């Protein structure tokens, strides 16, 4: 199993290590726990090691044309130092992955899910024309996510970059703790936050300096457990749970990144048909009406008939209720629809809501 | 891992404190650390019958759910009211404030089926 450059410091901090996408990652830290880690991010600041994520460098004169063909969003709209949330589809419209596309002066960086690094690389590589160079930099790249309202104050102590000037989904290259870093105002939590792309060998020092700089704000190391509860409160889909090769971006609520009028791309023919005819199922967010927690694969019912399945579910540390995402038959997807979740044989009442569950300040 | 020697244990990671014909039941330090933060517990009602090996409640943790299995047959004589508002007692103090139910047990011969601290320690190594 693979380890990130921060493996030893996770152990020292009491990280409970679990297998995730082939990596040994901290799911939570002893003496803190998912709920406290979650709260640290919502109320103050937390630091995640997400170095397991994959990074590909795409360069060459035909890069833009290549990425337009491969990804859903309109890459031509990207300015230098801007990032874009996007997706990749198969010809049948099923999703290969969701990803971030970063535009640098002379190249692009793609940030993909850890579980899909090999699959995505092979997919891009097999479609790559002569004029494009594709390099998998995942093993040489560490990624830290500093998230929460004090993230800017913490980071300010370690960098001369003007953080106020880095707007949402923009990034700058600069020095953090004396190490070269790509500082991106992005995240998976809904809070103000920054993601720092670093050389693998620099990650430990930057992690330690961020934790020290964050001490006055009671910063916590935050594991994958809190990452999941935070993203679910925001209704951000997770590849492998809420989206995969059997779901298309239209039904997953990712129509906003699927630019069907930008020209042809892989999957566009089918996605245009789906858009026109309407998808057969829809990803919805729902909250439980009494104490019950929906979990992956539980059935969703309406009038005693099964209309879909839960894809992600958890206890929401902020709302203190059970929340979930799941697919239901199109037509049954409207907010306020009263549904039931089959929780181990008990039909528990739930209500479809308009996402997200949590609205940041 | 804290395993008080005066308690009995089960392979379902519960601890049992025997006093007269009353058994106080909770989950072990190991169990709470595996479960992670507990959101709430589904408890039986006082007077409910329990049968050895059968479920009498559920622990809902943030990430997972586990059934509670009766270590002894009998009937529920008390539930821990503190857990209704503070399920985190199970995480913070599993052998103390985090006790879950008391069972008035009816068959003393079942006690022989429970594990000692040493036996249980061997299971979770």
- Is there a single domain that holds both residue A21 and residue A147? yes
Asked whether residue A2 is assigned to any structural domain, the reply reads no
Asked whether residue A103 is assigned to any structural domain, the reply reads yes
* CATH number of the structural domain spanning residue A314: 2.40.30.110
Q: Which residues of A163-182 are buried (b: 16+ CB within 10 A; e: fewer)?
A: beebeeebbbebebbebebb
* CATH number of the structural domain spanning residue B41: 2.40.50.100
Asked whether residue A1 is assigned to any structural domain, the reply reads no
3-state secondary structure chain B: CCCCCCCEECCCCEEEEEECCEEEEEECHHHHHHHCCEEEEECCCCCCEECCCCEEEEEEECCCEEEEECCCCEEEEEECCHHHHCCCHHHHCCCCCCCCEEEEECCHHHHHHCECHHHHHHHHC
The pLDDT of residue B1 is 80
Asked whether residue B2 is assigned to any structural domain, the reply reads no
The pLDDT of residue A180 is 98
Asked whether residue B60 is assigned to any structural domain, the reply reads yes
The pLDDT of residue A350 is 98
If one counts the domains in chain A, the total is 3
| Percent of chain B with pLDDT strictly greater than 70 | 100
- Is there a single domain that holds both residue A66 and residue A157? no
ipTM value, please give it. Answer: 0.85
The pLDDT of residue A361 is 73
The pLDDT of residue A284 is 98
Asked whether residue B25 is assigned to any structural domain, the reply reads yes
- Is there a single domain that holds both residue A66 and residue A170? no
Find the domain containing A317 and state its range: 236-353
pLDDT, tens digit (0-9, with 9 covering 90-100), for A319-355:
999 999 999 999 999 999 999 999 999 999 999 999 9
If one counts the domains in chain B, the total is 1
Q: How far is the alpha carbon of A295 from chain B, nearest alpha carbon, in Å?
A: 8
Asked whether residue B120 is assigned to any structural domain, the reply reads no
Sign of CA dihedral A17, A180, A238, A315: positive
- Is there a single domain that holds both residue A130 and residue A204? no
- Is there a single domain that holds both residue A154 and residue A271? no
CB contact under 8 A, B37 and A295: no
Chain B environment of A229 (Cβ under 8 Å): 62
Q: Which helix (H) or strand (E) holds A28?
A: strand A23-29
- Is there a single domain that holds both residue A225 and residue A264? no
CB contact under 8 A, B40 and A35: no
The pLDDT of residue A254 is 98
Q: How far is the alpha carbon of B32 from chain A, nearest alpha carbon, in Å?
A: 11
Using the 3D structure, point to which of A134, A150, A180 is the last residue of a domain: A134
- Is there a single domain that holds both residue A95 and residue A226? no
* pLDDT beneath 50: ranges in chain A: none
- Is there a single domain that holds both residue A250 and residue A157? no
Confidence at B125, pLDDT banded by 50, 70, 90: confident
- Is there a single domain that holds both residue A290 and residue A308? yes
CB contact under 8 A, A16 and B91: no
Q: Does B63 touch chain A (CB under 8 A)?
A: yes
pLDDT, tens digit (0-9, with 9 covering 90-100), for B107-121:
999 999 999 999 999
Mean pLDDT of B59-80: 96
Asked whether residue A361 is assigned to any structural domain, the reply reads no
- Is there a single domain that holds both residue A146 and residue A163? yes
Q: Does A344 touch chain B (CB under 8 A)?
A: yes
- Is there a single domain that holds both residue A245 and residue A324? yes
The pLDDT of residue A103 is 98
Q: Give the whole-angstrom CA distance, residue A186 versus residue B92.
A: 34
Using the 3D structure, point to which of A74, A100, A134 is the last residue of a domain: A134
- Residue closest to A355 by CA, chosen among A240, A239, A232: A232
pLDDT, tens digit (0-9, with 9 covering 90-100), for B74-109:
999 999 999 999 999 999 999 999 999 999 999 999
CB contact under 8 A, B39 and A315: yes
* CATH number of the structural domain spanning residue A168: 3.30.1360.120
Q: Give the whole-angstrom CA distance, residue A154 versus residue A216.
A: 9
Q: How far is the alpha carbon of B63 from chain A, nearest alpha carbon, in Å?
A: 6
- Is there a single domain that holds both residue A72 and residue A182? no
Asked whether residue A161 is assigned to any structural domain, the reply reads yes
Find the domain containing B83 and state its range: 9-113
Using the 3D structure, point to which of A180, A215, A232 is the last residue of a domain: A232
Number of A–B residue contacts, CB under 8 Å? 43
Give the angle B113-B119-B121 at the CA atoms, nearest 5°.
Answer: 135
The pLDDT of residue A151 is 98
Q: Dihedrals φ, ψ of A224, to 5°?
A: -65, -30
């Amino acid at each position: 199993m693979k380890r990130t450059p921060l493996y030893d410091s996770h152990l020292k901090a009491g990280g409970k290590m679990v297998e995730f996408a082939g990596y040994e990652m901290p799911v939570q830290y002893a003496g803190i726990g998912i709920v406290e880690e979650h709260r640290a991010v919502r109320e103050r600041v937390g630091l995640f090691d997400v170095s397991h994520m994959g990074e590909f460098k795409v360069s060459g004169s035909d890069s833009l044309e290549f990425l337009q063909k491969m990804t859903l969003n309109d890459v031509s709209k990207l300015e230098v130092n801007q990032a874009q949330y996007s997706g990749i589809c198969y010809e049948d419209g099923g999703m290969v992955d969701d990803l971030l596309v970063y535009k640098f002066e002379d190249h692009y960086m793609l940030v993909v899910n850890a579980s899909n690094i090999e699959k995505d690389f092979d997919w891009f590589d097999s479609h790559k024309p002569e004029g494009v160079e594709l390099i998998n930099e995942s093993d040489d790249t560490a990624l830290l996510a500093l998230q929460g309202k004090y993230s800017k104050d913490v980071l300010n102590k370690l960098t001369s970059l003007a953080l106020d000037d880095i707007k949402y989904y923009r990034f700058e290259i600069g020095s953090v703790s004396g190490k070269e870093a790509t500082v991106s105002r992005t995240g998976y939590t809904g809070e103000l936050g920054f993601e720092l792309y670093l050389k693998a060998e620099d990650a430990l020092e930057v992690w330690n300096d961020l934790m020290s700089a964050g001490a006055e704000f009671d910063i916590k190391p935050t594991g994958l457990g809190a990452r999941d509860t935070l993203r679910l409160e925001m209704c951000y889909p997770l590849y492998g749970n809420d989206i995969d090769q059997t779901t298309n971006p239209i039904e997953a609520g990712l129509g906003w990144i699927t630019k069907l009028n930008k020209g042809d791309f892989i999957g566009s023919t089918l996605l245009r048909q789906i858009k026109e005819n309407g998808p057969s199922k829809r990803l919805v967010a729902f909250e439980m009406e009494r104490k019950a927690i929906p979990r992956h694969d539980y059935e969703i019912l309406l009038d005693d008939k099964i209309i879909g399945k839960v894809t992600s579910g958890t206890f929401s540390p902020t709302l203190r209720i059970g929340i979930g995402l799941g697919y239901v038959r199109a037509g049954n997807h409207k907010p306020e629809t009263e549904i039931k979740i089959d929780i181990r044989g008990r039909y528990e009442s739930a209500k479809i809501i308009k996402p997200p569950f949590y609205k940041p300040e | 891992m804290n395993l008080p020697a005066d308690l009995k244990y089960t392979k379902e990671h519960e601890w049992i404190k025997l006093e007269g014909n009353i058994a106080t039941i909770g989950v072990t330090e190991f169990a709470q650390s595996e479960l992670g933060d507990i959101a709430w517990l589904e408890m039986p009602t006082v007077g409910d019958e329990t049968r050895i090996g059968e479920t009498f409640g559920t622990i809902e943790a943030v990430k997972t759910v586990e059934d509670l299995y009766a270590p002894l047959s009998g009937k529920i004589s008390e539930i821990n009211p503190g857990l209704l508002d503070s399920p985190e007692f199970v995480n913070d103090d599993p052998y103390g404030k985090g006790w879950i139910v008391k069972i008035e047990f009816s068959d003393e011969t079942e006690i022989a089926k429970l594990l000692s601290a040493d036996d249980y320690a061997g299971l979770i190594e």
